[in-house]
Chain A
Amino acid sequence: MRLALVGQPNSGKSTLFNALVGLRAVAANFPGTTVEVLRGRAALAGKPVEIVDLPGIYSLAAQDPAERVARDFLLSEKVDVILNVVDASVLPRSLTLTLELMELGIPMVVVLNMADEAEHKGIRIDSEKLEGILGVPVVFTVASRGVGLRELAAAVARARVPTPPRYSEAVEALRAALKGPDPLPAQPAWVPPPVREALRARGYEDPAELWADERFALAARIFREVAQVAHARVGLRERLDDLLMHPFFGYAFLALTLFLLFFLTFRVGAALEGLLLPPLEGLSARAGAALGEGVAAQALTGALEGLLAGIGIALPYLLPFFLLLALLEDVGYLPRAGFLLDGLMHRLGLHGKSVIPLLLGYGCSVPAVLATRILEDERDRFVSAVLAVLIPCAARTVVVFGLVGRFLGPAAALLLYLGNLGVVALAATLLARLFPATGPGLILEIPPYRLPTPRTTLGKTWLRLREFVKVAWPLLVASSFVLSLFQALGLAPYLNAAARAVTWPLGLPPEAGTPLLFGILRKELALLLLAQALGTEDLPAALSSGQMLVFTVFTIFYLPCVATLAVLGKELGWRRTGLVLLATTGLALLLGLGARLVAAAAL
């Protein structure tokens, strides 16, 4: 049996998905976190089921990529039961989607999620009455706390095909005219003249708009029937928003938040690194001594060094960073930052919604590129994806903090971040010249603040760290092994010679070439393999301050890692991805040269 979770953005589908199948999906407090179809298995009332988490959709008629994914899935794949997840605190609006789903002829259960939030807003819903009106089971849940899951399992057994609601004669005539394989055509191809006349008489050009308005009116009627609304309190939330989205204090708070994000990451990371690194280095030295000489022994020692570098250098910075980013996401701060930066982004030819993929880019470029799907306009998606790739992800943060922060000081690292923002702004301006803005501008729901639960926030941090452990560690160990093997066999000079085209103009030692080549696999590798390639843990002895700066600048900008390239290829097409590849590498060389000149003048 296959169940599909369908609901409006930010209604808690992913949280419910995680509650049902165990931790699999990344949930966050902004609309559009899920952009792809996620599948999981679970046991409901003892029976095995497949559960599918679809991207959030406001309506089946709208057209952005995430919505198309959800719509296509519902219309073309076999779904046994739709679990329509509804944010109970915004019931009238959510019911319009429910009414649309009722046209599909698929058994349904309505899940009134965030029941606690509705109560907080003074909304009391009579679920039995709603069940009577809709003709499908209705259950209450609070997915974040696992409340109501047993009732949900029982309701699935009672799921029924709903009877589509009746509308005015004009709409019914339209529905009759549209009868075909697609029960809800996104764009009616042809409307019979009498229907068109009926529409015009009521002041509508577009049949979809009339239908949408009638659906809304029906949803509002149902809401009045089943809900009692106590006088809503003027919430703390509203006052908090007046402050946090204030034209002056809002900016101050945003700047402070971003500063704290990096400052805390650096301080906690450096402390953890100081704790972990010395014993690990001792361990690797002892293992090296025990294994002795010989090609195989050297390669094994190299692999071990790679693993230990992953624990000692990368993990200390990734852990606090992912945790803090998860907190910001779960509280719901990202859409607020989008609102604050909308005016600024306009000057760069984008709008506030692009802030979300860009901020996510500090975590990892892959979800950042995927998150551009929340943008309605194709051109905005392309430009935002390119810019998101230029934002230093957590892997590059490891390089910035582990090299520049550690040896040149936190101020230099901060300057690199600010300089990076300047480059992103310049790139945006240039892209706006090449591809003039066409999109409608900002349309973004700002969800209520939510207190992050340890389960969701720690869970998400763990999901992202696990990505690192699962993907990066094996790569790290394999690369260190290969690199040591090359060194032991005397092959490394060939790789370094190939990379000389880059290392020579940048004034880097030839040995830095191999780590940069491996960095294409994962950006941390550039730093983690550097010590090994240079043959010393004492980096300041082997590299000047200027060289460290140049190496880091080049690492930030040169071609995106393979995982990012793959997702770029999927989202933008390979021709555009090829252009991004060339442009970023050219940019990295240019900025690396610039950094060399600045370093020569200043250091």
Chain B
Amino acid sequence: MNLNSIPRPLVELHPGQTGRVVALAGPSREVRLRLRALGLRPGARVRLLGRGPGGPVRIEVEGCCLALGAGVARRILVAPETEDQG
């Protein structure tokens, strides 16, 4: 079993690493629907582009770049796809 593919919060990906969304645990229905509308749904492929000072992450999903606060990104579970580069 590959330990690297165990689902983990989106914030824990390394910059440049991709993963597939496994589950969304948004704090509210509105937020979950908003994230879905932006393409963040189970099965979607995301790539972490970078991390900002104080916790936010930049990700690429559906060909768009999104900025997510740490609180939101912690609640999105992803299964990493590419090898750990860190």
Contact B33 A213 (CB under 8 A): no
- Are A121 and B67 touching (Cβ within 8 A)? no
C-alpha spacing A250/B52, complex, angstroms:
9
Task: Tell me the bound Cα distance from A245 to B65 in angstroms.
Answer: 12
In the assembled complex, A464 has its CB within 8 A of some CB on chain B: no
**Contact among A443, A446, A447 for B58, CB-based, below 8 A:** A446
The complex places the Cα of A441 from the Cα of B35 at a distance, in Å, of 12
The answer on a CB contact under 8 Å between B30 and A62 is: yes
Segment from B1-9, B68-76, B78-86 that makes contact with A: B68-76
Task: Give the total number of A-B pairs whose CB atoms are below 8 A apart.
Answer: 143
Residue in contact with B69 in the complex, picked from A96, A246, A344, A352, CB distance below 8 Å? A352
Contact yes or no, A344 B37, CB < 8 A? no
Asked if B69 contacts A346 (CB within 8 A), the reply is: yes
CA distance A287 to B72 in the complex (A): 64
CB-based nearest B residue for A59 = B37
Q: Interface stretch among A320-328, A332-340, A453-461?
A: A332-340
Chain A residues with CB below 8 A from B33, complex form: 59, 61-63, 208-209, 212
From B44, which residue of chain A is reached at the shortest CB distance? Answer: A216
Q: Is A276 an interface residue (CB 8 A)?
A: no
The answer to whether B54 touches A62, judged by C-beta atoms less than 8 angstroms apart, is: no
| Shortest Cβ distance from residue A377 to the other chain B in the assembled complex, whole angstroms | 9
Residue numbers in B under 8 Å from A96 (CB-CB): 37
Query: Of the candidates B37, B42, B58, which one forms a contact with A339 in the assembled complex, judged by CB atoms under 8 Å apart?
Result: B58
Q: Bound complex: CA of A399 vs CA of B30, how far in Å?
A: 43
- Measured between beta carbons, the chain B residues less than 8 angstroms from A238 are 49
Q: Quote the shortest CB–CB distance from A305 to chain B (angstroms).
A: 49
Q: How many residues of B contact A (CB 8 A)?
A: 36
Docked-complex contact A445 and B38, CB < 8 angstroms: yes
Quick check: B37 and A445 within 8 Å, CB to CB?
no
Taken together as a complex, chains A and B put the C-alpha atoms of A447 and B67 apart, in Å, by 10
Contact A343/B63 with A62-B34, A213-B41, A241-B58 known, Cβ cut-off 8 Å: no
Minimum CB–CB distance from B66 to chain A (whole Å) comes to: 6
Q: A247 CA to B52 CA in the complex, in Å?
A: 6
Residues in A with CB closer than 8 Å to B27 are: 440
Pick from B31, B42, B50, B62: contact of A443, CB below 8 A: B31
Q: Does A93 contact B (CB under 8 A)?
A: yes
Query: In the complex, which residue of chain A has the Cβ closest to the Cβ of B34?
Result: A62
In contact, B50 and A445 (Cβ under 8 angstroms): no
Give every chain B residue within 8 A of A212 (Cβ-Cβ): 33, 36-37, 41
Report Cα–Cα, A206/B42, bound state, in Å.
14
Q: Per a CB cutoff under 8 Å, which of A208, A335, A346, A447 touches B55? A: A346
- Cβ of A90 and Cβ of B38 under 8 Å apart? no
Q: Are B53 and A251 in contact (CB under 8 A)?
A: yes
- Known A-B contacts A92-B62, A241-B49, A247-B52; A444 and B34 likewise in contact (beta carbons under 8 Å): no
Q: Which residue of A lies closest to B65 (CB)?
A: A446
* Complex CA distance for A339 and B65, rounded to whole angstroms: 11
Q: When the two chains form the complex, which single residue of B30, B34, B55, B64 contacts A93, counting CB atoms closer than 8 Å?
A: B64
List the B side residues contacting A445 at CB < 8 Å: 38, 64-67
> Closest residue to B71 on the A side, CB-wise?
A441
Known A63-B30, A90-B63; judge A245-B38 contact (CB<8 A). Answer: no
A376–B72 Cα distance when bound, in Å, is 13
* Among all A-B residue pairs, the 5 with the closest Cβ atoms: A343-B54, A441-B69, A442-B69, A58-B37, A441-B71
Interface of A toward B, CB cutoff 8 Å:
58-59, 61-64, 89-90, 92-93, 96-97, 121, 187, 206, 208-209, 212-213, 216, 238, 241-242, 245-247, 250-251, 335, 338-340, 342-344, 346-347, 351-352, 376, 440-448
Instruction: Offer 9 A-B interface pairs, CB within 8 angstroms, sorted by A.
Output: A59-B36, A64-B34, A342-B54, A343-B55, A347-B54, A352-B67, A443-B31, A446-B67, A448-B65
Chain B positions near chain A (C-beta within 8 angstroms) = 26-39, 41-42, 49-56, 58, 62-72
